[in-house]
Amino acid sequence: MKTKKYTLRRFINDVHLWLGVGSGIILLIICLTGTILTFEEEIKSVFAEEITVSPTETKLPIEQLAQKLISEGEVMRVSIRPEPTKPYEFSVKTNKNDRRGTTFFVDQYKGEYAKKPENPLDGFFMANFKLHRWLLLDISIGRPIVGISTIIFLILSISGIVLWFPKKKLSKLKWKHLKPGLKIGWRGKWKRINHDLHVTLGFYTAIFLVIMSITGLFWSFQWYRDAGSAVLGTKVFGGRGGGPKIESTLNLDKSSVEFTDILSITERELPFEGTTVLQIPTVEKEIFNIRKYHDQDFFKTAVDELKIDRDGSIIAKEIFSEKPLNEQIASSIKSLHMGTIFGWFSKTIYFISCLIATSLPITGVIIWLKKLKDKKKKLAKKKA
């Protein structure tokens, strides 16, 4: 009897099968938690009390508002939303371990402030985050496990695309050959439906799963981050860590502009509606660093930056749309991974993709178990 030739396609199929079976449980956890985290902010906002202020003609100076928070700790930055009914959000380093700062809502019209209340879902989403990033294990152990699983998931996504195509030469492929793989045969038996759910839905979401995998690896391995930075020609997560603070070269006797002037300069140089984040200088000669987000636009994660000297002169101005493509991609890694890049539109696509990805290990294992069962039946018949 003729033995079947071990082709490249069979090799890809075997790789797809055994990597999927071996990593199924971990991938299911990663995809499920990713699905939950997609709309974290929106879900938490439903259970959070909306903080608003009553606008008046005059806003209090930021210096005065920051001074009120001195007793709470070191005032790091202030976030100003474009809506007049939204309070200023100050980040205050309340202790040496409070690296990111604690948020305080401050009424810019009355000067009253309150610490951001805890959300009842904070613990739930933090647990999901830790499960997603390092499986609730020690970071040094869990992070590489998730990273290796992500590499496997990337291989599964790419090999799945290859296996989706019919067993025909590309030159002979026609639409009638591809069409069956684009729909689910709901009228068929459960075996057929399960097969289509795995193959068809996997194909539709593959491109998004590849993007999630490629970007997710930047958090798992330093070597991958270095390699990605080398390929892009610019440092990924380059803004993290802050680096050395730039100091003003102006004479100390020269009077410094106030925050009101800085905000006016920002509005003049960046004339669009969006959230403005102003770093609060901690030393006398530190310059003003401003970030303004395009969070009111379709492309929500774009950020423009200004560096302003103490006399109000502009040291540097970085417009996201004017940056080279490689720098735009590097600064958008997080939003590309989380699906926040186009707001609700991209988040909805990512949510559906993650939900389907969660089902793929299940439908894949069912296909495998069914094949094992059929194989046993064939062997039994031969023996009989």
What pLDDT, in 10s, does the model give residues 21-64? 999 999 999 999 999 999 999 999 999 888 999 999 999 999 99
Q: Say if residue 152 is in the same domain as residue 76.
A: no
Is residue 6 predicted with pLDDT exceeding 90? no
| Amino acid 375: pLDDT | 84
Q: Say if residue 160 is in the same domain as residue 193.
A: yes
Domain termination site, one of 118, 136, 170: 118
Q: Say if residue 219 is in the same domain as residue 180.
A: yes
Within a domain: residue 83?
yes
Q: Say if residue 146 is in the same domain as residue 227.
A: yes
pLDDT confidence tier of residue 281, bands split at 50, 70 and 90:
confident
pLDDT confidence tier of residue 119, bands split at 50, 70 and 90:
very high
Domain termination site, one of 102, 118, 134: 118
| Amino acid 42: pLDDT | 94
What pLDDT, in 10s, does the model give residues 72-101? 999 999 999 999 999 999 999 999 898 889
Within a domain: residue 325?
no
69, 105 Cβ separation under 8 angstroms: no
Q: Say if residue 64 is in the same domain as residue 210.
A: no
Within a domain: residue 270?
no
**CA 318 to the chain's CA centroid:** 22
According to DSSP, residue 1 is labeled: -
User: Could you tell me the CATH number of the domain that includes residue 94?
Assistant: 3.10.450
Is residue 169 predicted with pLDDT exceeding 80? no
| Amino acid 282: pLDDT | 80
| Amino acid 381: pLDDT | 77
Q: Say if residue 33 is in the same domain as residue 133.
A: yes
129 to 117, 134, 180, 189, 247: CA distances (angstroms): 20, 8, 38, 38, 37
Is residue 239 predicted with pLDDT exceeding 70? no
* 275 or 178: which leads in pLDDT: 275
Tokens of 34: 């990713």
What is the extent of the structural domain holding 91?
A: 49-118
Within a domain: residue 67?
yes
Provide the phi-psi class of 73: left if phi over 0, else alpha when psi is between -120 and 50, else beta: left
Within a domain: residue 182?
yes
Domain termination site, one of 70, 94, 118: 118
Q: Say if residue 222 is in the same domain as residue 154.
A: yes
Q: Say if residue 101 is in the same domain as residue 195.
A: no
Q: Say if residue 222 is in the same domain as residue 163.
A: yes
Q: Say if residue 152 is in the same domain as residue 205.
A: yes
- Split into its structural domains, the chain has a count of 2
* 322 or 248: which leads in pLDDT: 322
pLDDT, mean over the chain: 91
| Amino acid 294: pLDDT | 94
Neighbours of 85 (CB within 10 A): 11
pLDDT confidence tier of residue 241, bands split at 50, 70 and 90:
very low
Q: Say if residue 130 is in the same domain as residue 148.
A: yes
| Amino acid 299: pLDDT | 85
**CA 212 to the chain's CA centroid:** 8
Is residue 158 predicted with pLDDT exceeding 50? yes
Q: Say if residue 199 is in the same domain as residue 186.
A: yes
pLDDT confidence tier of residue 242, bands split at 50, 70 and 90:
very low
Within a domain: residue 316?
no
Q: CA torsion, points 125, 216, 157, 190, in degrees to nearest 10? A: 0
Within a domain: residue 28?
yes
Within a domain: residue 55?
yes
